[in-house]
Structure 1
Amino acid sequence: MATNYKIANRRIKLLQGYSKRYIDQNAGFTLIEMISVALIIGILSAIAAPGWLGFVNRQRLNKASDGLLSAVRQAQTEAKNKKLSYSVSFRVNSSTNVPEYIVYQGIPPTTITTTTTPSSNTTSSSGWNPLGDSLELNARQVFIYTNLSSLTAYNTTTASDIVTTAKGEGTITFDYLGALANKADNSVINEPLKVMVAIPQATGDAAGDLKRCVIIEGLIGGMRTEKDASCK
């Protein structure tokens, strides 16, 4: 009887020993396992990152485009409601590299600086707003491009197509009816006015492939939007 007890006790100790060794061997991850997991995570991240970045850029550009269209409509609405001429100017701030806009009564003055509001009654505050307002764009995330000649020469184009090789600026002015006002020399507008937002290329100021634009055409100031290759 004592012999059977000793044999049983020895078997229990052997089983306990095997169990302890098994637990010790599987208590953690080996270096090879950790390296393999890290490689898999890295590969998946490399695959997903471009798609996620493209999604973020498209969302950002869509919001900037909404801000662009809203600014133009605001100027036209103010002109209709108040029965006065109103203008909206666009530029890329030379210091922050962030696109900006401003809506104001009347036509632009002969000189517009970074420290004065472009209206006949200039003030000490700039009055410029970042495009999209709450979008909080950072430098070089979105640029403005146009076919307009300058901030001061309102409703005047330099070409029929948008200049996509350099940052743009310009002013669109509506008359008291909400229609596009005649140019400073009283001549009628004969080409559509185009303002575009785009993700710039990695270097330089040229526009990338992601584009959104607002086109104002006809004397009544009709607006339409286009995207990517249709922005020209």
Structure 2
Amino acid sequence: MPNIPSLRVLNYFQLHSRETKLKQQYLANRSSNDGYNLQDAGFSLIELIVVLLLVGILAAIAAPGWAAFVNRQRINKVNDAVFAALQEAQRQAKIKKLSYSVSFQRNSTTQNVEVAIYSTDAAIGTWTWKPLAADVGANSDKFLLGGNLSGENIANTTTNSPVSYPLSTSAKITFDYMGVLTLPNNFGTVAAGTEPPGLKIVVAVPSSANPTLASSVKRCVIVKTLLGSMVTAKDNNCS
């Protein structure tokens, strides 16, 4: 009489072996019938070219907008630095009870735009020049620094082009020991019933056609009153 457990084990292995063969036959038939082969998995050259073209088109569309955003952020930070420099000079004048000035220059060696805050009693050459907004790479090829100053606390009265680039190193803004503008001063001449332009320090993005000219993207700090009140403005209000 046959051993029942042994027959069950034999039948199990026979069934398992048959299932394994059926799976192998199915996979072999599938590879040849439906065109799928593990060795052929991946992207074709045409697919890669299409993807690269799409990426290039999207980059070309997005690049101008991104560049404009970066330029706006840069001049915003530089304008903040100009505003902070003027406020610091005014604050030092009040604290130390001395006249304090703010001057700007473009370093001919490094091409960095620099700012100096100093007492008017300090001898020329003892001022400490510091890069303006150095954290955003503030050099002349990334922005233009201009203004409407023709002298110390004097606004340019030229009607055609009151704001000039670059800002003259002889132009500066000075506060007296009370933090108000020293005399003489002039906020510019205007038509009757309109407000004087004030003393403007302007930061502008260079024109793409001519980097020595300012584009329409501008930021500025305006000293509007004898008391040294300051506001910030942008674009057409900085012209």
TM-score range, shorter chain: 0.7 to 0.9
Q: How does 1:48-197 map to 2 (within 5 A)?
A: 48-106=62-120, 119-120=122-123, 122-123=125-126, 127-149=128-150, 153-159=151-157, 163-164=162-163, 166-169=165-168, 170-183=171-184, 188-191=185-188, 192-197=198-203
Q: CA deviation at 1:206?
A: 1.3
The more displaced of 159-168 and 87-96 is 159-168
Q: CA deviation at 1:219?
A: 1.4
Q: CA deviation at 1:138?
A: 4.0
Question: Structure 1 pair 156/164, CA: closer, same or farther in 2 (3 Å)?
Answer: closer
One-letter amino acid of the counterpart of residue 186, structure 2? I
One-letter amino acid of the counterpart of residue 27, structure 1? A
Q: Tell me how far apart the structure 1 counterparts of residues 203 and 128 of structure 2 sit (CA, whole Å).
A: 21
What's the TM-score, normalizing by structure 1? 0.78
Q: Tell me how far apart the structure 2 counterparts of residues 104 and 225 of structure 1 sit (CA, whole Å).
A: 23
Which residue in 2 is equivalent to 1:215? 222
Q: Tell me how far apart the structure 1 counterparts of residues 213 and 98 of structure 2 sit (CA, whole Å).
A: 36
Question: Structure 1 pair 106/196, CA: closer, same or farther in 2 (3 Å)?
Answer: same
State whether residues 148 and 193 of structure 1, in contact with CA within 8 Å, keep that contact through their aligned partners in structure 2. Answer: yes
Question: Structure 1 pair 17/90, CA: closer, same or farther in 2 (3 Å)?
Answer: same
Q: Render the CA deviation track for 1:155-206: whole Å, top value 9, x for unaligned.
A: 12333676455311321011111100013xxxx4343211111111133411
One-letter amino acid of the counterpart of residue 16, structure 1? A
Q: CA deviation at 1:208?
A: 1.1
One-letter amino acid of the counterpart of residue 215, structure 1? I
What's the TM-score, normalizing by structure 2? 0.76
Q: Tell me how far apart the structure 1 counterparts of residues 232 and 37 of structure 2 sit (CA, whole Å).
A: 66
SS at match of 2:172: strand
State whether residues 91 and 144 of structure 1, in contact with CA within 8 Å, keep that contact through their aligned partners in structure 2. Answer: no
Q: Render the CA deviation track for 1:35-82: whole Å, top value 9, x for unaligned.
A: 100011001111111111111111111100100100001111111111
Q: Tell me how far apart the structure 2 counterparts of residues 190 and 58 of structure 1 sit (CA, whole Å).
A: 27
Aligned length: 207
The more displaced of 14-23 and 31-40 is 14-23
Question: Structure 1 pair 164/39, CA: closer, same or farther in 2 (3 Å)?
Answer: farther
Gaps of 5+ in 1: 108-118
One-letter amino acid of the counterpart of residue 123, structure 2? S
